[in-house]
């Protein structure tokens, strides 16, 4: 039996705007000049993130956060108290410096106050270094006494320390409607998206997805009602993160480090990177395809309505906040940069890809550290790991440390139009796909909303309910051009078994 080809394959319908921004410039550098000592350097986002980490390590609490100014392509760091020594060091390193009022310790104290006094379902907060404040968001379910409680707490912190805003939607985990990975549980089916292929600490092939997916189901398949191909090894949700490590049952599974960006295009994932506020990021999801936006906050706390206790709350900490849209079925999907940096795993949020909203992601760097996994295939194929933050020039498979891959295998995805519906990590490698006419073409998926409502485990949905589309939720493609809806990604999942 041939080895299974496991790739990060998600919905084939991509947002054209995001694709146009991502694909032509996937390998383009944004560096323009190094700049003289004492002046802000022009940096690409990944280098700005590295510089921010180095300055934070060197200067500690003297800094009060940093962000990436995409219009000037500069890293901006916040300094409290006008310490000239700190300012000189930051400027010599190439950052732009501004003086602010709130220190890191003060902002952290405000977050602790919110945790103790305003932890109600439908709220979230994160530090915004651009405003030097804690931004608190309350969704549409926070009303009456709950709203008064949150508003009073924020007001008590002072207008110079925190702000409160409304979200039109409802904070929830994005679980139903995807076509990437499937599991059958009591009361219905669960669907999530595969995030990034990794190698577990014992050398076995695995992948990362959302923690609430791993908590919801133990075994996962690449097709509706199919035999399991992977088993959850570790899962964290709620608590300090939202991530799962899922090991492939077949130890010979090949798991290339790449993201399917739709339309036959892939992005090689070279390394795990920390997010920077202001950075442009891309999200690929099995329901909504490719979308892009900006990071708006770090170390976010989100209070989801509990999925097991109607009166409870599932609090998750340490997340990335963005304005990238997402919808049900995108949970666990990949958040990445245009130059191949793995940033996050889709957790949850509010809104949709029509009205927008806030979304939250599990940092990949934290998930790798917690699980002991490394990106890619651990050196058995293309893409050995480089040292953290430093992309290695070593050849494929030359593992130099943990965290950042030096490359990724090419040619493991199906050609344009050759995928039979964007399988969950199961694209055929070059030469492995069926000949022309033997597979379903792009756009063969059922329209969004045509799967069973029982696929959703968040928000208290009745798992036995059926969505308005009335379809049983198999997600099977109907044939070339036979798309039953808007092409939102409920396509069939196939793999080269």
CATH for 367: 2.40.10.120
Residues 107, 196, single domain; the answer is yes
Question: Is pLDDT of 18 > 80?
Answer: no
Rounded to whole angstroms, how far apart are CA atoms 472 and 493? 16
Annotated catalytic residue within 49, 66, 331, 406: 331
Residues 312, 265, single domain; the answer is yes
Which of 409, 430, 451 is the C-terminal boundary of a domain?
Answer: 430
Question: Is pLDDT of 32 > 80?
Answer: no
Annotated catalytic residue within 242, 418, 426, 488: 242
212 has catalytic annotation:
yes
CATH for 68: 3.30.300.50
Whole-number pLDDT of residue 21? 60
DSSP string, 128-164: ETTTTEEEEEE-TT--HHHHHHHHHHHHHH-TTTEEE
E strand residue ranges, 357-435: 359-363, 374-375, 385-386, 404-405
In a domain, 106, yes or no: yes
Per-residue pLDDT tens over the stretch 394-418: 333 333 333 343 333 333 333 333 3
Annotated catalytic residue within 212, 233, 274, 488: 212
Residues 67, 216, single domain; the answer is no
Residues 75, 122, single domain; the answer is no
Whole-number pLDDT of residue 285? 83
How much is the pTM? Answer: 0.68
Beta bridge partners of 260: 266
Residue 16: count of CB within 10 angstroms of its CB = 12
Whole-number pLDDT of residue 393? 37
Question: Is pLDDT of 124 > 70?
Answer: yes
From the list 155, 153, 163, the residue with the least C-alpha distance to 132 is 163
Per-residue pLDDT tens over the stretch 257-273: 988 887 778 899 989 99
**Helix 45-59 × helix 84-93 angle, to 10°:** 150
Question: Is pLDDT of 443 > 70?
Answer: no
In a domain, 35, yes or no: no
pLDDT band at 94 (very low <50, low <70, confident <90, very high): very high
331 has catalytic annotation:
yes
Can you give 461-480 as a three-state secondary structure string? CCCCCCCCCCCCCCCCCCCC
DSSP code at position 438: S
In a domain, 353, yes or no: yes
Question: Is pLDDT of 237 > 60?
Answer: yes
Q: Which two tokens stand for residue 257?
A: 């480090």
Residue 438: count of CB within 10 angstroms of its CB = 9
Per-residue pLDDT tens over the stretch 159-211: 999 999 999 888 877 643 223 677 877 667 888 888 999 999 999 999 999 99
Residues 385, 416, single domain; the answer is yes
Which of 430, 454, 482 is the C-terminal boundary of a domain?
Answer: 430
In Å, what is the CA distance from 286 to each residue of 96, 128, 259, 448?
39, 29, 12, 10
Mean pLDDT of 456-463: 34
Residues 82, 1, single domain; the answer is no
Pair 246, 230: CB distance under 8 Å:
yes
From the list 182, 184, 232, 236, the residue with the least C-alpha distance to 211 is 236
The b/e string for 276-289 (b: 16+ C-beta within 10 A; e otherwise) is bbbbbbbbbbbbbb
Question: Is pLDDT of 344 > 90?
Answer: yes
Residues 19, 61, single domain; the answer is no
Whole-number pLDDT of residue 242? 97
- Whole domain around residue 127: which residue ranges? 1-29+102-430
In a domain, 125, yes or no: yes
């Amino acid at each position: 039996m041939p080895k299974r080809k496991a790739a990060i394959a998600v919905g084939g319908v991509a947002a054209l705007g995001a694709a146009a921004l991502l694909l032509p410039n996937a390998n383009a550098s944004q560096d323009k000049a190094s700049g003289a000592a004492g002046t802000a350097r022009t940096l690409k986002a990944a280098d700005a993130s590295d510089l921010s980490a180095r300055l934070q390590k060197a200067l500690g609490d003297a800094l009060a956060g940093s962000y990436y100014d995409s219009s000037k392509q500069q890293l901006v760091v916040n300094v409290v108290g006008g310490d000239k020594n700190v300012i000189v060091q930051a400027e010599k390193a190439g950052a732009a410096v501004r003086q602010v009022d709130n220190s890191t310790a003060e902002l952290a104290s405000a977050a602790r106050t919110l945790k103790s006094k305003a932890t109600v379902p439908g709220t979230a907060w994160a530090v915004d270094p651009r405003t030097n404040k804690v931004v608190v968001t309350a969704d549409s379910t926070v009303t009456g006494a709950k709203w008064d409680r949150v508003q009073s707490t924020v007001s008590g912190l002072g207008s110079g320390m925190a702000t409160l805003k409304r979200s039109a939607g409802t904070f929830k985990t994005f679980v139903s409607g995807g076509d990437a990975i499937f599991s059958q549980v009591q009361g219905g089916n669960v669907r999530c998206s595969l995030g990034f292929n990794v190698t577990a600490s014992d050398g076995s092939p695995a992948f990362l997805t959302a923690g609430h997916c791993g908590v919801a189901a133990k075994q996962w398949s690449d097709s509706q009602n199919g035999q399991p191909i992977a088993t959850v090894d570790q899962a964290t949700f709620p608590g300090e993160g939202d991530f799962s490590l899922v090991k492939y049952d077949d130890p010979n599974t090949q798991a290339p480090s790449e993201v399917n960006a739709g339309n036959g295009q892939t992005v090689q994932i070279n390394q795990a990177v920390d997010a920077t506020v202001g950075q442009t990021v891309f999200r690929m999801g099995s329901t909504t395809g490719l979308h892009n936006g900006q990071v708006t906050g770090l170390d976010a706390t989100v209070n989801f309505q509990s999925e097991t206790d109607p009166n409870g709350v599932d609090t998750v900490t340490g997340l990335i906040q963005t304005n990238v849209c997402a919808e049900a079925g995108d949970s666990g999907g990949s958040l990445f940069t245009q130059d191949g940096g793995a940033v996050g795993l889709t957790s949850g949020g509010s809104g949709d890809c029509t009205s927008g909203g806030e979304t939250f992601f599990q940092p990949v760097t934290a998930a790798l550290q917690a699980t002991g996994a490394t990106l890619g295939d651990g050196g058995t194929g293309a893409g050995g790991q480089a040292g953290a933050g430093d992309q290695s020039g070593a050849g494929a498979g030359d593992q130099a440390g943990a965290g950042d891959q030096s490359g990724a295998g090419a040619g493991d995805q199906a050609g344009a139009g050759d995928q039979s519906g964007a399988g969950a990590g199961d694209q055929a490698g070059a030469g492995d796909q069926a000949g022309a006419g033997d597979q379903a073409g792009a756009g063969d998926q059922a329209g969004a909303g045509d799967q069973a409502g029982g696929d959703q485990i968040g928000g208290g949905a009745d798992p036995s309910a059926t969505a308005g589309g009335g379809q049983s939720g198999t997600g099977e493609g109907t044939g070339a051009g036979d798309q039953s809806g808007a092409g939102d990604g409920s396509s069939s999942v196939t793999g080269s078994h």
